[in-house]
Amino acid sequence: MRKAYWKEAVVYQIYPRSFMDSNGDGIGDLRGILSKLDYIRELGANVIWLCPVYKSPNDDNGYDISDYRAIMDEFGTMADWEELLAGIHRRGMKLMMDLVVNHTSDEHPWFIASRSSRDNPYRDYYIWRPGKDGREPNNWLSFFGGSAWEYDERTGEYYLHLFSRKQPDLNWENPRVRQEVYDIMRFWLDKGVDGFRMDVINCVSKTPGLPSVGGARYAWGGEHFLNGPRVHEFLQEMHREVLSRYDVMTVGETPGVTVEQARLYTGEDRNELQMVFQFEHMDLDAGPGGKWDLKPWTLREFRAVMHKWQAGLAGVGWNALYLNNHDQPRMVSRFGDDGKYRKESAKLLATLLHTLQGTPFIYQGEELGMTNVKFGSIEDYRDIETLNMYREYTLERGLPADWVLRLIHAKGRDNARTPMQWDDSQAAGFKSGTPWIKVNPNYPAINVKESLADPDSIFHYYKKLIRLRREHDIVVYGRYDLILEDHPQIYAYTRTLGREQWLVMLNFSRREARFELPGHLRHSGRRLMIANYADADEREPIDRLELRPYEARVYRLLR
């Protein structure tokens, strides 16, 4: 296996709107981030992934870009951005920008030109089709609900938008579009950025002819745009034209990706991407009806997914490890226990994140054990996906509001977007004034100030884990092997590098869990490297042992 700095890195994801507000307008901004760089360095992460900061009408909080070479007014100026980059580099850290090029905003000059007439030179930058029998060109649903097509009266045709109607899809079949994308990438790389997180990059190639799926009026068309026919060709072209000429870090966001596909995206000799975000563990608590069709997840399924990805990319590609982000519920509320065992379970999940093979991505506030939020009224929500869904479920499907709110409490994207909790002062120290979205009412107990002061905090545990990765190659490069394959409560594995071997034991339940180690791991001496219960005793025999609720232990085996 080849060594690389991006395999050893720990990434911290920032959602700028909710991170830190420097001027009191209630919106996080670049100078706010600048003022908190030392905090991130203190944690130990050495790469920052910044969600979009480009000019945008904010239909989808910056994922709808109207100028790829300018900074969103609310976030600051290009000079602020340059100062931020310099501040990051001065601290020996790197910056990854979000590259959102499956679609633009409908307010981007290309789209304004494109929709102006059928023979405008920009017409073919987007995907326009005539209607079929007085209806949309096909039956695909958008990610955010409703048809993926919007009728535009001016020219009497429909345009495709896999996300909101203010996010028209670019036509990657047009080589000029691809060259525009490469130009944008060069613009930022020449300014000194160190990499890209590529938004829904596996959606850029669509099945020719854009066929409908099944017989229903509307249906999920994923099979025609996830990992489409030319996606690998496009990524290899991007690599040839841009990425190969710079020293960059890349991670693709790839909903619906399979291990087989990911081996192609991340294969070390294929010249596409370094890593991809897979979604299989994010789908475990969803039924056949999709994201809002809630279903309990089980450790067996969770472990099976994680194991499949560990084994499937071993020696071939590389995993991007994450348990939450700006689109997902908070990990401690979803996979842990945000009540009695909040601290223990947040640390347990952190242990998993940092000891599987792959590059860990930490989402802002995760290191504090920030939780989901339960706003009592739809008025308090901001996310376009959530607002669309609420309308559809209450008005069209006639479901009771409190029932729909319960779904939002479990899965809504705003769970991750409440302001970062810095201290126990008004608005959690995000800034005085009224933030664009309410703070989580638990901020007096869960915040940075408290976490820094408490040596036993989740924050300090993350610090320790990150230091372990830095000091021990085995945590980054060691081979992963699953043990106790069928245990109903415990996820356990070993990591092996040369003659060195580590053992990771994680009790994913709120009950004590007994286990017996397999023979080849018994009777060796061991040293406790990290554990989430302060009194975990390294001299305890672990051949047969009980783990306490959500207990996590990492041992180095001595032979």
In angstroms, what CA-CA distances link 126 with 52, 102, 155, 254?
A: 21, 10, 14, 21
H, E, C per residue of 424-483? CCHHHHCCCCCCCCCCCCCCCCCCHHHHHHCCCCHHHHHHHHHHHHHHCHHHHHCEEEEE
Question: Mask 341-380, x = binds ligand TEU (CB under 6 A)?
Answer: ----------------------------------------
For the chain, the maximum distance between any two Cα atoms, rounded to a whole number of angstroms, is: 77
Is 204 a binding residue for ligand TEU by CB under 6 A? The answer is no
**Residues 6 or more apart whose Cβ sits within 8 Å of residue 304:** none
Is 163 a binding residue for ligand TEU by CB under 6 A? The answer is yes
Question: Mask 8-37, x = binds Ca ion (CB under 5 A)?
Answer: -------------x-x-x-x-x--------
Is 385 a binding residue for ligand TEU by CB under 6 A? The answer is yes
Q: How far is the CB of 225 from ligand TEU (least distance, A)?
A: 11
Is 291 a binding residue for ligand TEU by CB under 6 A? The answer is yes
Q: How far is the CB of 74 from Ca ion (least distance, A)?
A: 6
Q: With respect to ligand TEU, which residue has the nearer C-beta, 140 or 163?
A: 163
The catalytic residue positions are 199, 253
Q: Which of 119, 120, 127, 121 shows the shortest CA–CA distance to 103? A: 127
Q: How far is the CB of 421 from Ca ion (least distance, A)?
A: 17
Is 146 a binding residue for ligand TEU by CB under 6 A? The answer is no
In angstroms, what CA-CA distances link 309 with 321, 484, 506?
A: 10, 18, 18
Is 111 a binding residue for ligand TEU by CB under 6 A? The answer is no
27 makes contact, choosing from Ca ion, ligand TEU, none, with CB < 5 to 8 Å by partner type, with Ca ion
Parallel, antiparallel, or unpaired: how do β-strands 286-287 and 290-294 relate? antiparallel
SS3 percent helix, strand, coil of the chain, rounded to 5, is 35, 20, 45
Residues 149 and 212: their CA atoms lie apart, in Å, by 12
Is 60 a binding residue for ligand TEU by CB under 6 A? The answer is yes
Among 19, 63, 322, 459, binds ligand TEU (CB under 6 A): 63
Q: Which of 471, 423, 476, 468 shows the shortest CA–CA distance to 450? A: 423
Q: With respect to ligand TEU, which residue has the nearer C-beta, 58 or 355?
A: 58
Q: How many residues bind ligand TEU (CB under 6 A)?
A: 13
What is the DSSP code string of 93-116? -EEEEEE--SB--TTSHHHHHHTT
143 makes contact, choosing from ligand TEU, Ca ion, none, with CB < 5 to 8 Å by partner type, with ligand TEU
Fill in the DSSP letter of residue 419.
Answer: P
Is 200 a binding residue for ligand TEU by CB under 6 A? The answer is yes
**Residues 6 or more apart whose Cβ sits within 8 Å of residue 397:** none
Is 414 a binding residue for ligand TEU by CB under 6 A? The answer is no
Q: What's the full length of the chain, in residues?
A: 559
Is 551 a binding residue for ligand TEU by CB under 6 A? The answer is no
* Residue carrying the six token digits 């672990």: 542
Q: With respect to Ca ion, which residue has the nearer C-beta, 25 or 280?
A: 25
Q: How far is the CB of 437 from Ca ion (least distance, A)?
A: 13
29 makes contact, choosing from Ca ion, ligand TEU, none, with CB < 5 to 8 Å by partner type, with Ca ion
Question: 315 is written with which tokens?
Answer: 């020696």
Is 199 a binding residue for ligand TEU by CB under 6 A? The answer is yes
> Could you list the residues that contact Ca ion (CB under 5 A)?
21, 23, 25, 27, 29
> Could you list the residues that contact ligand TEU (CB under 6 A)?
60, 63, 100, 143, 163, 199-200, 253, 255, 291, 326-327, 385
